[in-house]
Structure 1
Amino acid sequence: MNLYLIRHTTPDIDKGICYGQANIPLSDSFEEESDFLISKLKNINIQQVISSPLQRCTNLAAKIKTDFTIDDNLKELDFGDWELMDWNKIPQQEIDPWMKDFVHVPVPNGESYMDLYLRVLSVYQNIKKDKTALVTHAGVIRSILAHITKTDLTDSFDFKIPYGTIVQIDTETNQYQIL
């Protein structure tokens, strides 16, 4: 069975701003970026599209398949009190414990990376249709790649997932490739 993990296109937000579940819009390059992504999928008969509910994903999901479904578990990490803050302005006493163990330490009023990992695995392990596309976020994609490659979550940021990336996974062999 083939699964396609698709990261949303470029969001319209300044660099250096912490965002996860904030529902930010897409940049003006959305049409161009999404058309390029769609062209990569043109020879694949996507059977099902499941999307994060955030507009940076649903806009793309609708272009791939109009009858897509939404799953809240595909949202990015909940950055709680840090949502839409400048990373450099997050109080040191809050960010230090998280930086030392972001896998297990939750963001104040948010979640830990382990929280994200567990909710994402519930989606991944319940996909039954071949050629399913998940339109989602970098953290979600990294957590799935960590799972299938048995990579420790602390090392999962070694997976580089730029905006508009498509990762194809053969769920029988757990082999993956970037399209």
Structure 2
Amino acid sequence: MSALWLQRHAQPLVAPGICYGRTNMAADDKATAAAALALQSAWAAEALPAGTVWHSPLQRCSQLATALQAQAPAFALRACDDLAEMDFGAWEGQRWDDIAREEMQAWTADFMAYAPGGGEALATMMARVARALDAARQQALDTGQPVLWISHAGVAQCAHWLLTRGQRLPLAKDWPSVKLTYGEWLRLPLFGEL
């Protein structure tokens, strides 16, 4: 069975309600250790061999990848820019409630093409996640094993959308298609067989 295991980073060290997308920050150390232990236990329970852990280069994800490797040293780590969170441009560091209503409406009206805060459009993010999924499929074919990513909620939403809805473009009302809490993971079919 070729699956993508995608784990979200632990609780970042940021106040609630802040837009922090591409902002590079650490996560809570205890929550990170607990998330790594939970994933390693689930991986071991299925008797899966340690392989390469692809992770976002942002600190909160590399921190979790390193914690996982500390518990299971056979895992190799590989940072992947395609797994970074969405860049919200000028919205980064602002309270979601403080972002102008007109800007939020412009984003929801043109959900795929609008670049929130002048950052990254969802279409651009979907394209890079699709590229990462192509690499994951190739890895699964080469190894015969599941693929493990440590990333962000936005990447999980894009991957879930692409793997379950294919080429249909999302509207704002469709989003998110899946929700991951901090430290949680999901398994997705890479080839449609799960």
* TM-score of the aligned structures, taking structure 1 as reference length: 0.88
Displacement after TM superposition at 1:152 (Å): 4.3
Q: Which residue of 2 aligns with 1:168?
A: 187
The structure with the largest helix share of the pair is 2
RMSD, matched Cα: 1.8
Quick one: distance in 2 between partners of 1:142 and 1:94?
A: 22
Q: Matches of residues 11-160 of structure 1 in structure 2 within 5 Å?
A: 11-28=12-29, 29-43=31-45, 44-65=48-69, 67-127=76-136, 128-129=138-139, 130-150=145-165, 152-154=169-171, 155-160=174-179
Amino acid at match of 2:26: P
Unaligned runs of 5+ in 2: 70-74, 140-144
Cα contact 1:81–1:108 (8 A) shared by 2 = yes
| Distance in 1 separating the partners of 2:146 and 2:177 | 26
How many percent of aligned residue pairs carry the same amino acid?
A: 29
Relative distance call for 1:8 and 1:139 in structure 2 (3 A) is: same
**Structure 1 residue matching 2:105: 3-state secondary structure:** helix
Q: Is the 8 A contact 2:35 2:184 kept in 1?
A: no
Q: Secondary structure at the match of 1:78?
A: coil
Equivalent-residue separation in structure 1 for 2:51 and 2:22 (angstroms): 27
Equivalent pairs, count: 175
Please list every run of 5 or more consecutive structure 1 residues that lacks an aligned counterpart in the other structure. none
